[in-house]
Structure 1
Amino acid sequence: MSNGSADTNGHVAADTGRAGVILAAGPSSGFPTIEKALAPLDGTPLLAHATATLEPIVDELIVTCQGDQRDAFAKVVDDGRRFVSRPADGHNPRVELQAALEATDATYAAVLPVGLPLLPTGFVELLFAQARTETGAVPSVEGHRRSVPAVVHVRAAAAACVDARQAAKTTIATVIAELTPVVVSDRTVAAHVEADAFSIINTHEELAAVQPHWSRPKNNPSS
């Protein structure tokens, strides 16, 4: 992550705008014959669904990947998307998130795992609104604080990643905990989306289970 951008006079401008981060570099053990990000839901890859969720409300989109995934992923999303390769040190979600945060000058970033196709765009917009002037925002779902989806202050989250590294912590949950984000209450969450909007797909069976819900209209907090 750069420390702001410099204009033609050498003055450093503050970070501005929004980024969308799609975490797609994780292992796909539940999808032995295909990358999870490329697994189709209603004929469309999960990566494309994640892109469609974030694209309307962010200024740039960053997709994390392994080096050998980049070409296949690039065929799914439009040109101009930024791909960030996860450092080759095994699957470490914290490292994956840190690499994405260091690739943007945005002030806030929405963080979305690739296997979360039922989450509506409007709910991410709600998280952006809740995170404003804070270090981040996450939902509480059925009494449990979720680590993703999340909206995080980029600089604060990058610093939290460094702290997590020094403490030998590898999970995104650790990073989110360091931020002490605003937690959107169960009642507020339930007013905007069904609980199954937070169902994360990790296997073919979970993908099949989501299919019946796909045609149901998504609730949208902006409507």
Structure 2
Amino acid sequence: MSGGYMLQNSIGEILKYIAFRYTNLGAPSYNYCVDPIELSTLINEIERLKDADGCIIEVGVARGMTTKFLCEHIMREGLNETYYAIDTFSSFTSEDIDHEVNIRKKCHNDFNGFRYNDFKTWVNNFKNYDFVIPVKADCSKFKYKDIKPIKLAFLDVDLYLPTRNALAAIFSALVEGGVIIVDDVAPNERYDGAYQAYMEFCDANGLQPVRVGKRCGIIRKESGALR
């Protein structure tokens, strides 16, 4: 082992020592917007459905933190999956924002996020996961029947219209035994459009709302369910 390597390694250890003991740089952090119980539910559903026919879809991927977490699980477990990542990659659509502001009386400034995203950059970030298929599309208009059967869907688009429209289309393409997991299913919050759409969908289809944690809604397609 060379002296240069040993010196470099020693300096690295000293810097880590200083950073951890005397700054906040070494403090652990939780970098996911999705709650731990929701991530664990997604992993459990992937495992439950790993031998079932159908693809996995994530609708509303932002910069891909949840995507990365789930893809690492799929890769490390050696699962044979096809994973569609569907997003506008340019924030919310003007139609969806107008509905929140004009109909649901929300504040327009609350919906300026996610404009940082870029499709080419996102695709490059996931180039090592050959089972991931990024799709740049409005989730309200995307033809889910073209990629069916779907066995697991994670829907995280926050607002009322895209959640309502995507839920109906995804459910019709879902396999029996499949599941849709909806994020932000919580009332009286900035992004409570997802909650309203989820509750309306369950009511219209005779489904019992099932929530895991504080803001995760579950929809399962049982045998003989409405298509």
Q: TM-score range by the shorter chain?
A: 0.3 to 0.5
TM-score (ref. length: structure 2): 0.33
TM-score (ref. length: structure 1): 0.34
Structure whose alpha-carbon radius of gyration is higher: 2
